[in-house]
Amino acid sequence: MNRLFHYTSLGGILGVLRSRSLWATHAYYLNDASEFFHGLDFAKQVAGGILMEDDYLEAFGWAIRHGLESVSADDLYVASFSEKADLRSQWRGYCPPGAGLCLGFEFDCLEEFCQSRGYRLEQCIYEHDQQIQQVESLVTQCFERFPKPAFARSDYEKLNSKGRVNANIDYRLSTSEGPDKPQADAAVDWLCAEISKLAPLFKNEGFHEESEWRIVAKEPRELVQFRASSSYLAPYIELEMLSGVAVSALREVIVGPNPNQHRCESSIKMLLDSFGLGNVEVKVSPLPFNSW
């Protein structure tokens, strides 16, 4: 894969070129506000299953379920791209009618930019089974770090009901208040950090056609700014992607379905020339899609 594509408006490309940046929106203020919590809910379900179904690991299940309640999207910003150029659903969903553009960025330049900032460029995960597998793998790794029960499972299962209750209480106290608490807390903190990285990449299977990639910026160094949305102010940061290591990142612009498509094409070429980007290829979409 050589390029990733960002769908935007005519005003959007003006903002990109003037600031030499793309906007990354706070995760709480994405178009679908539930996206971040989609992955987090999976993790809570796994923890809940341990609590309900495995008495032997009840203290572990309780610890991770309790810890996941503190996971949030604070200081987490997201910029979205698609693997696919000139996609009808993207024109419809992310561009104003008759005035959309698709900006093609060199993948290697985006990746180098992210590495220079300590940010992540990763592919979204749509398949439900793969999402479950990813979360279960993290929970398994967390348990490897977590203090183990005093009894082996085989010995625990030989205990009577009272003995099991006492063993569970001892395990819970040891990991929540006693000598094993530092190790337990460190394991749960690790899991929460990993889940907070994974959650922004989980999307509903119904959106798989978008083939989305995301830049995920945790605790960014950029100044937080605000833009007006329909009913609230959305916090965002500017990722300066057209300077420094990513100066040549923008490689093409596709003019979407448009009642004045060729006039728009001409104006985009003039705009790019004025910013010293005359080498960026400009195309027009051949899609027969009328949205105006």
pTM comes to: 0.85
pLDDT the model gives residue 289: 65
What residue spans define the domains of the chain? 3-284
Tokens of 4: 């990733």
What is the structure's pLDDT at 33?
58
Question: For strand 212-218 and strand 76-82, is the pairing parallel, antiparallel, or unpaired?
Answer: antiparallel
Q: Which pLDDT score is estimated for 69?
A: 86
Three-state SS sequence of the chain: CCEEEEEEEHHHHHHHHHHCCEEEEEHHHCCCCCHHHHHHHHHHHHHHHHHHHCHHHHHHHHHHHHHHCCCCCCCEEEEEEECCCCCHHHHHHHCCCCCEEEEEEEHHHHHHHHHHHCCEEEECECCHHHHHHHHHHHHHHHHHHCCCCCCCHHHHCCCCHHHHHHHHHHHHHHHHCCCCHHHHHHHHHHHHHHHHHHHHHECCHHHHHHCEEEEEEECCCCCCEEEECCCCEEEEEEECCCCHHHCCCEEEEEECCCCCHHHHHHHHHHHHHHCCCCCCEEEECCCCCCCC
Mean pLDDT by runs of 10 across the 292 residues of the chain is 93 93 90 68 76 86 89 87 93 89 95 92 90 88 95 93 94 95 96 87 83 92 90 93 76 94 96 93 87 60
pLDDT of residue 34: 66
